[in-house]
Structure 1
Amino acid sequence: MEFFAEYMGFLAKTVTLLVAIIVLLVTIAALRGKGRGLSGQLQVSKLNDFYKQLHQRLEQSVLNKDQLKAALKAEAKAAKQDKKAGKSKPRVYVLDFDGDIKASATDHLRHEITALLSLATPEDEVVLRLESGGGMVHSYGLAASQLARIRQAGVPLTVCIDKVAASGGYMMACIGEKIISAPFAVLGSIGVVAQLPNVHRLLKKHAIDFEVLTAGEYKRTLTVFGENTDKGREKFQEDLETTHELFKGFVARYRPQLNIDEVATGEVWLGLAAQDKQLVDQLGTSDEYLAERAKSAELFHLHFAEKKSLQERVGLAASTALDRFALTWLSRLNQQRFW
């Protein structure tokens, strides 16, 4: 038992030291980042080449020599005919958004959209591969506003959802003129939630006072440490209802075919059921859709890569790890069902 106690003490000191180092690095990165201009570059890759390489590699492995020679000859002939006919293929710009609680990917998305709108025309298309379970209202509001720029420019927007687009994620998805969902992707959650602990009774039990001074009747409604009142709870609930109405109105604006009162209950649906609710337009995966589009269009994948220092990379890794840890335990607490 004595050894166990010493070991636990050593472990606690090690964890404390590690956390302190991470906090220090994050602080340094934040201080260095202040006042510094944006540094990064837009990376563009042609997805047609990727699909072509997959096809050629399979041909080389499966076909015999004569079959391979005939296939290459047919492909070369088709390419020559297209070139001779002067056919210009439409462009498809492919973006990715992997959303966390703070919708951090918006920092890259905004620059990617700015770049493509400088060249894209209504004959082109933007495809967004979206994955997000939602998060902060203001953060996802900004992300959705970035996608709205595409619609305002008259460029067709298609949103592909392979896993999840719920809450703020669906706020983004609904802007697409066409929404494609995998059969078992999770969609919906058109609702608003806020929760916080209150330790006022614990502090009171130990004779600890906590004072909250405000100027303005509703500057603070619910607090963690202070004593919450019924009036404060009512105001807090009223604010949630107001946000929910704005959320419903936003979705209804871009998806007028929805029965908004039926789907804006905070519930989620799998893709199969979501199609019946008209939350999505068709079922399929992003791979299926892009592979098909590659046959008749030029596909370009855009990714804005910001240059980061070592401290910033360490800080970002720590922040991402904490976000994933929080989401993992939140999922467990909510008792999500898995197959």
Structure 2
Amino acid sequence: MDALQSIGIFAAQTFLILFAILAVIITIAMLASRAGDKSEIQIELLHKKYKNFRNLLKSQTLTKNERKELKKKLKEERKSQDKESLDHEKKIFLVDFEGDIKASAVENLREEITAILTTATPHDEVVVRVESPGGMVHGYGLAASQLLRVREKGIPLTVCVDKVAASGGYLMSVTANKILCAPFAIVGSIGVVAQVPNVHRALKKFDVDYKEYTAGEYKRTVSLLGEITPKGEEKFKEQLEDTHVLFKNFVHKFRPNMNLAEVATGEYWYGEQALGKGLVDEIRTSDDYLLGLSEKHQIVKVKYEHHESLSDKLTGIIGKAFKKGSISIIEELETRRFL
């Protein structure tokens, strides 16, 4: 009897502790949801940053009298700038795009481009530093469309490639009026690839039945678990070729003077080689280009930051846990096409 009583007391205490923890989590989530997302556009004035670098280095290498003269000169420059309006001057808007397989950065890119278009005019310039080895077709197609918004407004668009802009990354880059490339940066890879793991023979070996029901002859040409038929495989390859044709036509539209037959082989090239083949317009790093522009123009770096609220994070964790435990994990492994 004493043992049962002790168990009951222990169970009640455990329940109270769990209830208290759950209540705290719910309270925090409610407070976080009231606070909402803290999403914002961050601005950095790079021309001022470069100027501060220059002044700092000069001040450390000059004599005492020279430093006094420099200080006097800088004071006069600040006064003259205060009197003159800078609204009429050309502004350079800078955006960074670091791509992954899913082109996840496109969510920030669309906000950054929208913010820029509320202010920029055809007198200004937008510079995008692209770094991406490529990825999913629809993701990079949307990223390219975001950059096209700039060009369609008549605003000069420059893409700088310091490391890599291959496949989907190059798809984005060709929308620019001008592509700058570092000497050893990788560009090109105008091709399409699809990855399709298939375990049908293993299932068959162990007498495991798998049945898939579709409506539409080509709803599922190849799949992870089903048998890949010659007809389905042929259709799948045809779809890949169609995607490649779309890719090539898009490149040709913006770089019509390039020998498409020579470069649309899926190969990639380094900067100097890419320049010779017409894939880029100039061998130059983004740092050198921006530093040169900062001598006469304002450079405004625009970055969109999205901070999820705690409630969204908790919801996301629960959603991911559910997803991993459901049939959607098979969908994650299904056919995907990559640029």
**TM exceeding 0.5:** yes
Q: CA deviation at 1:288?
A: 0.7
SS in structure 2 opposite 1:299? strand
Q: CA deviation at 1:180?
A: 0.5
Q: 1:330 aligns to what? A: none
Residues paired across the two proteins, number: 285
* Pair 1:265–1:312, CA change in 2 (3 A): farther
What are the residue-to-residue correspondences of 1:108-123 with 2, within 5 Å? Answer: 108-123=108-123
* Pair 1:84–1:142, CA change in 2 (3 A): same
Deviation digits for residues 17-39 of structure 1 (CA, Å, limit 9, x no counterpart) = xxxxxxxxxxxx9xx99xxx975
SS in structure 1 opposite 2:101? coil
Give me the whole-angstrom Cα distance separating, in 2, the residues matched to 1:99 and 1:300: 21
**Structure 2 counterpart of 1:94, which letter?**
L
Q: 1:100 aligns to what? A: 100
Q: 2:251 aligns to what? A: 251
Shifted more, 144-153 versus 87-96: the winner is 87-96
Give me the whole-angstrom Cα distance separating, in 2, the residues matched to 1:275 and 1:252: 16
SS in structure 1 opposite 2:134? coil
Q: 1:153 aligns to what? A: 153
SS in structure 2 opposite 1:244? helix
Q: CA deviation at 1:153?
A: 0.1
What are the residue-to-residue correspondences of 1:160-309 with 2, within 5 Å? Answer: 160-309=160-309
SS in structure 2 opposite 1:57? helix
**Structure 2 counterpart of 1:44, which letter?**
I
CA contact (8 A) 2:38 2:309 kept: no
Q: 1:43 aligns to what? A: 42
The gaps in structure 2 that reach 5 residues or longer are 1-28, 321-339
Q: CA deviation at 1:73?
A: 3.6
Deviation digits for residues 184-233 of structure 1 (CA, Å, limit 9, x no counterpart) = 00000010000111111111111111111111110111111111111111
The gaps in structure 1 that reach 5 residues or longer are 1-28, 320-339
Give me the whole-angstrom Cα distance separating, in 1, the residues matched to 2:125 and 2:313: 33
Give me the whole-angstrom Cα distance separating, in 1, the residues matched to 2:47 and 2:104: 29
Give me the whole-angstrom Cα distance separating, in 2, the residues matched to 1:184 and 1:312: 42
Give me the whole-angstrom Cα distance separating, in 2, the residues matched to 1:136 and 1:41: 27
Give me the whole-angstrom Cα distance separating, in 2, the residues matched to 1:99 and 1:308: 20
Give me the whole-angstrom Cα distance separating, in 2, the residues matched to 1:190 and 1:313: 37
CA contact (8 A) 2:37 2:309 kept: no
* Pair 1:86–1:111, CA change in 2 (3 A): closer
SS in structure 1 opposite 2:162? strand
Q: 2:328 aligns to what? A: none
Shifted more, 51-60 versus 72-81: the winner is 72-81
Q: CA deviation at 1:307?
A: 2.2
Q: 1:322 aligns to what? A: none
**Structure 2 counterpart of 1:58, which letter?**
L
Return the TM-score normalized by structure 2. 0.78
SS in structure 2 opposite 1:302? strand
Q: 1:61 aligns to what? A: 60
Give me the whole-angstrom Cα distance separating, in 1, the residues matched to 2:113 and 2:208: 52
Give me the whole-angstrom Cα distance separating, in 2, the residues matched to 1:199 and 1:53: 60
Q: CA deviation at 1:80?
A: 5.4
Return the TM-score normalized by structure 1. 0.78
Q: CA deviation at 1:78?
A: 5.2
SS in structure 1 opposite 2:250? helix
Q: 1:24 aligns to what? A: none
Q: CA deviation at 1:69?
A: 2.5
* Pair 1:303–1:172, CA change in 2 (3 A): same
SS in structure 2 opposite 1:140? helix
Deviation digits for residues 153-204 of structure 1 (CA, Å, limit 9, x no counterpart) = 0000010111000001000001110111110000000100001111111111
**Structure 2 counterpart of 1:178, which letter?**
K
Give me the whole-angstrom Cα distance separating, in 1, the residues matched to 2:117 and 2:231: 48
* Pair 1:44–1:82, CA change in 2 (3 A): closer
SS in structure 2 opposite 1:305? strand
Deviation digits for residues 33-92 of structure 1 (CA, Å, limit 9, x no counterpart) = 9xxx97511111211121122112212222222222233444445565666676742101
Percent identical? 50
**Structure 2 counterpart of 1:229, which letter?**
T
Deviation digits for residues 277-307 of structure 1 (CA, Å, limit 9, x no counterpart) = 1111101111111111011101111111112
**Structure 2 counterpart of 1:52, which letter?**
K
Larger radius of gyration: 2
Give me the whole-angstrom Cα distance separating, in 1, the residues matched to 2:76 and 2:41: 34
